[in-house]
Amino acid sequence: MERSKKNILVPTDFSKVAEYALQHAVKVSEVVGESITLLHVVSNATEVDAATEKLNQVAESTFQKYSIKPRAIVAVGEIPDEIARISEELNSSMVIMGSISIKGKENLNGLRTLSVITKAKVPFVTIQEPPINKRYDDIIFPIDFTAENKEKHAWISYFCDFYVSKFHLIKPNVSDPELVAKVDLNMASAVRFLDEKGAKYSVHTVPGQGTYQEEILDLAVNIRADLIVLMTIKVKDKEAYVLKPHEHFIIGNAGHIPVMSINPR
């Protein structure tokens, strides 16, 4: 993946959870050396001046606290559309966004957060709580049977380059021979890539005593994971993406653990 002139985009509505997202972005920026861009979206051009003043205050406060001065952008339009557009225009490496609306949800359908995640072409990191750890050193990679799973590999390179990460590859407990074969193929591909990178990893198969999503989160909590990486599915013949039902649950119930959702190219 390209690394030149990358930046981290942080949409904000000036809420507390948006402040948490900015704190996460600062932690990432300090490690990867990418700049931060703050984005606030208004529905009417008459709101731009007031929003710009408020956003500049957030940028200045960030500089005073962390010695990092984010760029401030106010856009007019629909929030999902503008986040997707600006992230592409700025060549953002990722979008980090707080969303209290997803907390505890098992189904994100109908929520604005889902429409943002499935529009942006760059990875989208959802935040519910302030950062606990500075680095992404323990990363959960659920391995499923979809072809899109292999696109996580570029992000293995990213984390290996900037972090001393250990990857926890999580297999579902399935018995259907066709699904087993697909999962094993994706697992073998991930392991081969990790071996080539000289990365640390471990392989886990969930017990199968609860749902896959519940057992992923249990494992993430037990190992004190710093990040969970998910992959959306591209809708055939369309520029649209969907999250699988178990991924809705993970995003909504991850608590203090950031969740990165990647749309396949």
Q: Which of 127, 150, 180 is the last residue of a domain?
A: 127
Do 115 and 159 have their domain in common? Answer: no
Binned at pLDDT 50, 70 and 90, residue 46 comes out as: very high
Q: Are residues 143 and 176 in the same domain?
A: yes
Q: Indicate whether 104 and 181 sit together in one domain.
A: no
Domain boundary among 127, 162, 190: 127
User: In this structure, are 111 and 147 located in the same domain?
Assistant: no
212 and 106 share one domain: no
2 within some domain: no
Asked if 109 and 29 sit in the same domain, the reply is yes
204 φ, ψ (degrees, to nearest 5): -125, 140
| Residue 3 binned pLDDT confidence (cut-offs 50, 70, 90) | very low
- Tally of structural domains, the chain: 2
What b-and-e string marks burial along 190-229, b requiring 16 or more CB atoms within 10 Å of the CB?
A: bbebbeebebebeebebeeeeebbebbbebbeeeebbbbb
Angle between helices 16-32 and 48-66 (to 10 degrees): 50
Q: Quote the domain boundaries for residue 107.
A: 7-127
pTM of the model: 0.90
Last residue of a domain, one of 99, 127, 155: 127
The separation between CA 257 and the C-alpha centre of its own chain, rounded to angstroms, equals 10
Residues 117 and 177 in one domain: no
Identify whether residues 161 and 107 lie together within a single domain: no
Write the CATH number for 162. 3.40.50.620
- Asked whether residue 112 falls in the same domain as residue 148, the answer is no
Same domain, 52 and 144: no
Is position 1 within any domain?
no
Query: Does the residue 133 lie in any domain?
Result: no
Q: Which of 260, 46, 233, 256 is nearest to 140 (CA)?
A: 260
> What is the per-residue pLDDT for 253?
94
Look at residue 249 and give its three-state secondary structure: helix
* pLDDT surpassing 70 at residue 150: no
Evaluate whether 228 touches 257 at the Cβ level (below 8 Å).
yes
- For 194-248, the pLDDT digits (tens) are 898 888 999 999 998 999 999 999 999 999 999 999 988 877 766 678 888 889 9
